[in-house]
Amino acid sequence: MKKFTPNGPAIKHFRSELDRLSTQKEMANEIGVSIRMLRMIENENAAISTATVERIAKALGVHREQILFSTGAPTLIVKSNQPSEIISSVLEDEDKLIPRHDYDYAGATSDEGRLYGEAERSHNVACLIDTALTEETGAYAQELFDILGGLTWSKRDILIPIEPSEQIALRRRIRQLLVLLKGNDVWVYETSVIRRLPERYDLPPEGEPSSLQFQLVVALGPPGEYGETSMKVPIDHGQPFILPSLKKILSGKVAE
């Protein structure tokens, strides 16, 4: 499994700026690690997996590039086809404008529990089909998207809990659909993105109120030809935003 070196001081700084998750206990529970592990991440830059990187970035509401170092040196990790202009600008201590329409890397998944949980915590699901579908696989895909979409906040009353028996049935069916799709060489990839609202194409004026929404992005694609377990997917941030340089992030005192 590929490991990444997190920027511990940056993670600690971002966490300290939050009203929710400001304590290590709250943050550790949110990202699914022990308090001891979170301390190691923040204080010792302990290596973490791609999934943990994604969970931390999502919890903090930041780009993953803002919380990563590469192994052995204080430089950002660059994936093979990651936009070099974003990386170079951060290394040069410059802020970077992230456009509304951007892209991310969705990871292949066969974990029905993760898909169910991400859909249940998201406001909506964005779907992308990047492979040919037959009548059979198209029916599987439609049912999968219908189930995931029905779990989102836009389709149900989040104050009414889903009955355990219904949860079990939905998760079982999601698992079956994942197996059926993969058996027909259609892989399911997923990632999550934080969208800023209201939607706009230019930077919002200073002081304009905004809200955040979580969006689950589910893509159907071919198997990785060379063993890849991720695919590039377009995402919509809702509105553009400024990605601060690491120098600016760490220029102030980092909270304990």
Phi, psi of 15 (to 5 degrees): -60, -40
The pLDDT, as a whole number, for residue 31 is 87
**CA–CA separation, 61 and 82 (whole Å):** 20
What whole-number distance in Å separates Cα of residue 54 and Cα of residue 30?
12
Q: What is the DSSP string of 1-64?
A: --EEEE-HHHHHHHHHT-SSS-SHHHHHHHHT--HHHHHHHHHH---EEHHHHHHHHHHHTS-G
- Segment 71-125, tens digit of pLDDT: 333 333 333 334 334 344 444 457 778 899 988 888 899 999 989 999 998 999 9
| Separation in Å, CA 123 to CA 93, 217, 238, 253 | 34, 11, 13, 35
Where does the chain hold its CATH 1.10.260.40 domain(s)?
3-98+243-249
Spell out the CATH class of 3-98+243-249.
Answer: mainly alpha
**C-alpha gyration radius of the chain:** 19
Q: Are strands 211-221 and 124-129 parallel, antiparallel or unpaired?
A: parallel
In order along its 256 residues, the chain shows pLDDT tens digits of 457 788 888 898 888 888 777 888 889 888 888 899 999 999 888 888 877 887 888 888 777 778 886 433 333 333 333 433 434 444 445 777 889 998 888 889 999 998 999 999 899 999 999 999 999 999 999 999 999 999 999 999 988 899 999 999 999 999 999 999 999 999 999 988 888 899 999 999 888 888 888 899 999 999 977 677 888 899 999 999 887 766 665 554 434 4
Q: Give every strand in the sheet of 48-49, ordered side by side.
A: 48-49, 3-6, 68-69
User: Residue 194 corresponds to which amino acid?
Assistant: I
Rounded alpha-carbon distances, angstroms, from residue 176 to 29, 179, 245: 29, 5, 44
Q: Are 194 and 213 in contact (CB under 8 A)?
A: yes
Name the DSSP letter for residue 155: T
Residue pointed to by tokens 């997923």: 190
d(CA 27, CA 38): 8
